Amino acid sequence: MSKKIVQTAGRDQLGGFAPKFAHYNDDVLFGENWNNPDIDLKTRCIVTLVALMSSGITDSSLVYHLENAKAHGVTRAEAAAIITHAAFYAGWPKGWAVFRLAKEVWKDEDGEKEEQHGGMFGLGQPNDAYARYFVGQSYLNPVAGQSGVNIANVTFEPGCRNNWHIHKAQKGGGQLLLCTEGRGWYQEWGKEARELHPGDAVEIPAGVKHWHGAAKDSWFSHLAVELPGEDTFNEWLEAVNDETYNALE
């Protein structure tokens, strides 16, 4: 049998100021309603979470109900699925707001800690030297370079992408991307974006205007292999605008 829900917040915080409200909160809402056996507590927690999210409530009361949901068996994966599903009906910004709170509540079950990103080649350090050419945070971990072929593992946080840019060369040049972790995007100017997954490879000839980066909801890593050429350099251009990026699913 599930443990009985007992609530005293009403009397603790409003007992002297609004005793009737405290009674309805502690004895009726939580005392009678929450202990009604017609719905199990886990289901009741889920219904409450969705109702609060739909109402746009993201204060301490939502944190309480997220913690209550976790205490009554809602897993991290279930919470993510519930919030995602509700976001389609209640509104995407509300989903983002609830996820920010839910990540803290389920952080002990979070298998995606920042230092674990980057795949087999590692996260590396914040890509500060090129930060002005990125929207969002990226990380860089050099892999090879002494042989004359420069290879680096580039990791993008969710929503991060680099600016439109062109690999220039008098002869040869270009870049090869080998995707290693997460989900991302690659797009050439005037063409549809291509969704990327681990194991995908992208050959980028010199002179082609393009960008690449993470999906909105996923970390993404790829090896960036600079192909040999003469007088090679990158021409960095404008940022990928939000309209273009947010249209990608």
> Domains in the chain and their CATH numbers?
9-109 (1.20.1290.10), 115-246 (2.60.120.10)
Q: For 82-131, how does the pLDDT look when each residue is reduced to its tens digit (9 = 90+)?
A: 999 999 999 999 999 999 999 999 988 755 444 478 888 889 999 999 99
Give the Cα separation of 150 and 172 in Å (integer).
Answer: 14
User: In a 3-state reduction of DSSP, which class is residue 33?
Assistant: helix
pLDDT (0 to 100) of residue 31: 80
Helices (H), 91-238: 92-105
Nearest to 196 by CA among 187, 186, 188: 186
Q: Provide the 8-state DSSP code for 16.
A: T
Q: According to the model, what pLDDT value does residue 1 have?
A: 38
Q: Do the strands 210-214 and 184-188 form a parallel or antiparallel pair, or are they unpaired?
A: antiparallel
217 CB contacts (<8 Å, ≥6 apart)? 158, 183
Full-model pTM: 0.54
What's the pLDDT at 18? 87
Stretches in the chain below the pLDDT threshold 70: 1-3, 110-115
